[in-house]
Amino acid sequence: MHQIFNKRRYNKLPAFTLVELLVVIAIIGLLVGLLLPAVRAARESARKLQCMNHLKQLSLAALNYESTHGVYPSGMNGPIVAPSNWGNSWASSRGHHSSLLFMLPFLEQEPLYQDIVHCTLDYAGPWPGWTGRYYGEYVPFGPHSLAPDSRDLKRISTFLCPSDPGAQGMGVSSYNAPVSYAACWGDSTIGRDGVRIGEWGTQDSRGMFSTDWSMPIRSKTGSGRGRAMGEIADGTSNTLLYSEKAVFNGPGKIKGDYALMPSATFRASPVACMSAKGKNGMLLGPLPSSHQRVGDAWSCGLPMVSGFIALLPPNSPSCAHDRGEWHEGIYSASSFHAGGVNVCMADGSVHFASDAIDTGNLSTPVPQTGPSPYGVWGALGTINSAESNASLQ
């Protein structure tokens, strides 16, 4: 009898019904659905802050460089072997080394910098599988920054935005380490001398960075040298130094690739490049068949690779005259942070530039001299065009 009583009492104990269990599961799923976006937002906020810290380090390195050498680093620099034989010219830097390379000593990368200065590593040729002449002699700061060289394979965390998916790999090539940050070459695709921005182009851009094809660091006079503090008449707090620019992460993507457009078209009316904007973050053609070297190498100073033009608003399409990093183009700032890009100024401050920033009249031809016609964004891209009121504050 006692056993029967206990069995009956046990059977009458309360339990969850199937409906109640399903309700609990639904509530848990709802809570998880509410929490996950908040967790993702918190992680992105942390990545954005880390990205801003990287830009702060770059701006401070540039200021320390200026304090040491009397000028900011130039946008492209390094000795040149005359390219009478195209292959042989890759034994030198071809004048393409970036401002980031010359700031390495101020970013706790002195050993790497000295290794580049003295060219202590072997160099087999300009690309894997090269069948031409092999080089056993070097000039200082050689070889070319896009050549397969183990020094250029070193990933430097300060040069990489944690939100940039392309920066997590090796860009379009497998023999260079990428960069998520770009130097400002001004608000125009031509310099103050009317010459295009690009390889063998102007040595006098409208922005903070330009080309200096004399000996690295030592040049402090003449066109193309690094900018002196006194040249920044618009004010260091009102002048762009570096911005984010997404690394190539697949063909046809607005963030990391570019469309082809004749330079005459975008020179006459930069807004024409906006016609390359397609749906779902993709570009409308025509697209380059190769050489999508956007963000491909931190050591290379070519504007397509590690530069930007403060013309179209952030996260707009980029357009180049033709396939290849040597061509003139509108290379737009871009990032994977919602609503804009992180930037740093010549005074060392870091800000967020919105996609909706004022860009003035984008139908106006690209300027050679005078104030920028491209609103606040264009004004911030110039160093001395009488636009001292432009600010991101």
Most confident range (mean pLDDT) of 66-70, 119-123, 187-191 is 187-191
Comparing CA positions, the residue from 149, 93, 159 lying closest to residue 306 is: 159
pTM: 0.85
Higher pLDDT: 117 or 259? It is 259
- pLDDT given for residue 216 in this prediction: 44
Query: 75 near 301, Cβ under 8 Å?
Result: yes
Write the DSSP symbol of residue 229.
G
Query: Per mean pLDDT, which range of 112-126, 169-183, 227-241, 313-327 is the poorest?
Result: 112-126
Query: Per mean pLDDT, which range of 9-13, 299-303, 357-361 is the poorest?
Result: 9-13
- pLDDT given for residue 126 in this prediction: 52
Grade residue 83 by pLDDT with cuts at 50, 70 and 90. Answer: very low
Degrees to nearest 5, angle at CA 324 with 214 and 269: 95
- pLDDT given for residue 215 in this prediction: 46
SS3 string of 17-48? CHHHHHHHHHHHHHHHHHHHHHHHHHHHHHHH
Question: Computed over its alpha carbons, how large is the radius of gyration of the chain?
Answer: 26
- pLDDT given for residue 32 in this prediction: 78
For 175-217, the pLDDT digits (tens) are 789 999 999 999 999 999 999 998 878 889 999 998 876 544 4
Is residue 5 predicted with pLDDT exceeding 80?
no
Strands 259-260 and 319-320: parallel
Grade residue 26 by pLDDT with cuts at 50, 70 and 90. Answer: confident
Query: Residue 182 in 3-state DSSP?
Result: strand
Could you count the other beta carbons within 10 Å of the beta carbon of residue 219?
17
For 125-178, the pLDDT digits (tens) are 555 555 444 344 455 676 777 776 667 788 999 999 999 999 988 777 777 899
What average pLDDT does the segment 89-100 reach?
A: 78
Task: For residue 131, give both structure tokens.
Answer: 């069948």
- pLDDT given for residue 221 in this prediction: 39
Write the DSSP symbol of residue 165.
G
Is residue 85 predicted with pLDDT exceeding 50?
no
Place of tokens 């848990």: 28
Share of the chain above pLDDT 90, in %: 57
Q: How many Å apart are CA 159 and CA 296, to the nearest integer?
A: 12
CA distances from 228 to 77, 101, 302, 371 (A): 16, 19, 21, 20
Is residue 57 predicted with pLDDT exceeding 70?
yes
Grade residue 117 by pLDDT with cuts at 50, 70 and 90. Answer: confident
Average pLDDT value for the chain: 84
Grade residue 383 by pLDDT with cuts at 50, 70 and 90. Answer: very high
Q: How many Å apart are CA 117 and CA 12, to the nearest integer?
A: 85
For 229-285, the pLDDT digits (tens) are 999 999 999 999 999 999 999 999 999 999 999 999 999 999 999 999 999 999 998
Map out the domains of the chain as residue ranges. 43-79+145-380
Is residue 297 predicted with pLDDT exceeding 50?
yes
